[in-house]
């Protein structure tokens, strides 16, 4: 997560530097005297540079917007992952309690109570497997984001 923030800061700083350079260049060009009619080639090159600068500024804005969208997505997924981790911990505690109950039942009368506990344990295992699958899905979505950073 810290790496993403660091990359974002570096990208933003670089794009800001480009933007400032473009603005400085445009200001310097605006301060130059008018181009003589014989310097049509220079005028065309100037227009090409201005168009290129405009595209760079537009590209910067798109990248900043994309970074903001990715940040929002990472935050949402992180919150979801934390929720799933807490649910997984709760399930582990329930399984531990059920295992303890099973041990107690094995030492005593195991009749119908044992079957009931086993059914509940199977249900919890299924819930845990579903949660694990959801965690794997989240991790799969985060992997490309981390690679981009």
Q: How many domains does the chain have?
A: 1
Name, in order, each residue with C-beta under 8 angstroms of 88's C-beta and a sequence gap of 6 or more. Answer: 128, 131, 132, 135
What gap in Å lies between CA 106 and CA 89, rounded to an integer?
Answer: 26
Determine the pLDDT at residue 136: 82
Provide the residue range defining the domain that includes 29.
2-148
Mean pLDDT by 10 residues, the chain (149 residues): 77 84 79 64 86 90 90 86 80 75 70 66 79 83 80
The predicted structure's pLDDT at residue 35:
54
Residue 32 to residues 27, 38, 46, 103, 121: CA-CA distances in angstroms? 9, 16, 12, 89, 81
Please tell me the predicted confidence (pLDDT) of residue 1: 62
């Amino acid at each position: 997560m810290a790496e993403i923030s660091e990359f974002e800061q570096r990208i933003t700083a670089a794009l800001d530097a480009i933007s400032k350079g473009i603005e400085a260049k445009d200001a310097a060009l605006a301060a130059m005297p008018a181009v003589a009619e014989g310097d049509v080639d220079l005028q065309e090159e100037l227009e090409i540079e201005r168009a290129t600068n405009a595209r760079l500024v537009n590209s910067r804005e798109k990248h900043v917007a994309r970074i903001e969208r990715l940040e929002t997505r990472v935050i949402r997924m992180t919150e979801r992952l934390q929720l799933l981790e807490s649910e997984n911990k709760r399930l582990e505690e329930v399984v531990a309690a059920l295992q303890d109950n099973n041990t107690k039942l094995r030492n005593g009368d195991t009749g119908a109570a044992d079957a009931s506990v086993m059914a509940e344990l199977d249900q919890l295992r299924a819930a845990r497997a579903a949660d694990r699958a959801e965690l794997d899905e989240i991790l799969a979505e985060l992997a490309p984001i981390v690679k981009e950073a």
